[in-house]
Amino acid sequence: MKLIILENYAQASEWAAKYIRNRIIQFNPGLDKYFTLGLPTGSTPLGCYKKLIEYYKNGDLSFKYVKTFNMDEYVGLPRDHLESYHSFMWNNFFKHIDISPENTHILDGNAADLQAECDAFEGKIKAAGGIELFVGGIGPDGHIAFNEPGSSLVSRTRVKTLAMDTILANARFFDGDLSKVPTMALTVGVGTVMDAREVMILITGAHKAFALYKAIEEGVNHMWTVSAFQQHPSTVFVCDEDATLELKVKTVKYFKGLMLVHNKLVEPLYSMKETEAERRQAKKPYSD
């Protein structure tokens, strides 16, 4: 497990975007080998998405051979509703890059049979060869996707009732009107995300500091579902200084002391403008 501590939200977002960029380019995707990327919604990944769009527009990165799987979607919210996660992803990311619509996968919260939709989603992930890198964010109560406190740590994609804390947190997207906030969602399970070959969790802001403490310094606990990723063989937590406020000083110092090594994951920063031979000559980023 790695904990990457950056000074602020902008730096954390850029580090995460650089990591995704390097992973895609190193994978060398093509028509017979797509890179599969799990993606979150919410305010936390927006900075990362903006940097990825910038890389695409500069010609440094392409999503032509990338398949994406989103973590969740509200139940009952029209697909074209401004706050649906379909709309969120297209408005904030997909329409700005060269990804093919058929390569983007988002759960349908209006399906006639919601559990069948969830089962089909798991099948699509399996058919794509599994997820190479699953990027996620968390709520203040430590939930990953919509795996609320108390969720099974081996759960799969399913229908989930949202906790009141989550409804309150999401009310800002619905004019502060709780009656407009969906109370149910479709979500990948903790086990679904754990199956990914790599997981990167973005955690920023003082309001998520206690959740980061639970994820890093305490044991695995289904009341803090993000803590499950302590047991994943390749997890990267990316946070800003504010998110570390509940961590012990020695914990912060320990992980900051590793930054010179961990930064080798994003240095050198690869570009699709380079030839394959040039990339092979470059030093391979560090990984434990």
Q: Which residues are catalytic?
A: 72, 141, 143, 148
Rounded CA separation 133/66 (Å): 11
**Element holding 27 (H helix, E strand):** helix 9-27
Whether the CA torsion 74, 75, 78, 79 is positive or negative: it is: positive
Angle between helices 9-27 and 46-57 (to 10 degrees): 50
Q: Provide the strand spans (E) within the chain.
A: 2-6, 35-39, 66-70, 72-74, 104-105, 133-137, 158-161, 184-187, 198-203, 235-240
